Amino acid sequence: MTERHRTLGQKFTRYVVYLSLLYVFVSVGAAWVLTTSWPFGSARGPRTFDAVEIETSDGVTLQGYSFATFQRPLIVLAHDYHSASGEFQGFATYLSRNGYDVLLFDFRGHGKSGSSVVSRGVFEVEDVAAVFRYIRSGRTGGLAGVAWIGVGSGAAAMTFHDEAAELSCSVLINCYDDLEGQLGRDFEDTVHTGLYPVGSLMASVVEWRLGSPLRTIRPVDELKKLEGRPVLIVQNEGDRNAAGQNIGEVLAEAAGPYAQLVIHADDPALLEGLAEDIGTRQAILDFIDDNL
Q: Is the pLDDT of residue 1 over 70?
A: no
pLDDT at 162 over 70: yes
Q: What is the pLDDT of residue 77?
A: 95
Q: Which pLDDT score is estimated for 208?
A: 92
Tell me the pLDDT of the chain averaged across its residues: 87
Regarding beta strands 50-55 and 169-173, do their DSSP bridges make them parallel or antiparallel, or are they unpaired?
unpaired
Could you count the other beta carbons within 10 Å of the beta carbon of residue 105? 31
Q: For residue 230, say if its preceding peptide bond is cis, omega within 30 degrees of 0.
A: no
**Lowest mean per-residue pLDDT among 42-51, 77-86, 90-99, 116-125:** 42-51
Please say whether the beta carbons of 291 and 230 come within 8 A: yes
Any idea what DSSP says for residue 114?
Answer: -
% the chain with pLDDT above 90: 49
Collapse the DSSP code of 148 into the 3-class scheme (helix H, G, I; strand E, B; otherwise coil) and give the result. Answer: strand
Q: Which residue has the higher pLDDT, 12 or 170?
A: 170
pTM assigned to the model: 0.90
Q: Compute the distance between CA of residue 161 and CA of residue 79 in angstroms, rounded to an integer.
A: 16
- pLDDT given at position 239: 86
CB atoms within 10 A of CB 221: 13
Kindly write down the DSSP assignment for every residue of 253-267, as one continuous string.
HHH-TTEEEEEE-S-
Helical (H) or strand (E) element with 181: helix 179-191
Distance CA 134, CA 281 (A): 26
pLDDT digits (tens, 9 = 90+) for 274-284: 655 677 888 89
How confident is the model at residue 276, as a pLDDT?
56
pLDDT one-digit tens code per residue, 214-259: 999 999 999 999 988 999 999 888 888 888 899 999 999 999 888 9
Please tell me the predicted confidence (pLDDT) of residue 43.
60
Among 47, 232, 93, smallest CA distance to 150 is for 232
Question: What percent of the chain is modeled with pLDDT above 70?
Answer: 90
The answer regarding whether domain 35-178+218-291 maps to CATH 2.60.120.10 reads no
Q: Which residues contact 225 (CB under 8 A, 6 or more apart)?
A: 159, 162, 164, 165
Give the three-class secondary structure for 183: helix
Give mean pLDDT, residues 46-50: 83
Q: Please give the pLDDT value at position 140.
A: 81
User: What are 110's strand-pairing partners?
Assistant: 38
Work out the average pLDDT over 90-110.
Answer: 92
- Mention every residue, 6+ apart, whose C-beta is less than 8 A from residue 200: none
Q: How confident is the model at residue 38 (pLDDT cuts 50, 70, 90)?
A: confident
289: helix, coil or strand?
helix
CA neighbor of 155 nearest in space, from 68, 252, 22:
252
Residue 272 has pLDDT above 80, yes or no: no
- The residue among 239 and 76 whose pLDDT is bigger is 76
User: For the segment 166-194, what is each residue's pLDDT rounded down to a tens digit?
Assistant: 999 999 998 999 999 888 888 887 777 77
Q: How large is the average pLDDT for residues 32-41?
A: 79
Nearest to 88 by CA among 152, 146, 143, 137: 152
Q: Which of 31-45, 63-77, 101-115, 124-138 has the lowest mean pLDDT?
A: 31-45
CA distances from 106 to 53, 68, 111 (A): 10, 17, 6
Which one has a higher pLDDT value, 81 or 190?
81
Residue 291 has pLDDT above 90, yes or no: yes
Give me the pLDDT at residue 240, please.
86
- Give first-to-last CA distance, the chain, whole Å: 81
pLDDT at 230 (0 to 100): 95
Rounded average pLDDT over 118-145: 92
DSSP label at 216?
A: G
Query: CA 72 to CA 42: how far, in whole Å?
Result: 27
The C-alpha atoms of residue 201 and residue 204 are separated, in whole angstroms, by 5
Instruction: Give the Cα separation of 117 and 156 in Å (integer).
Output: 17
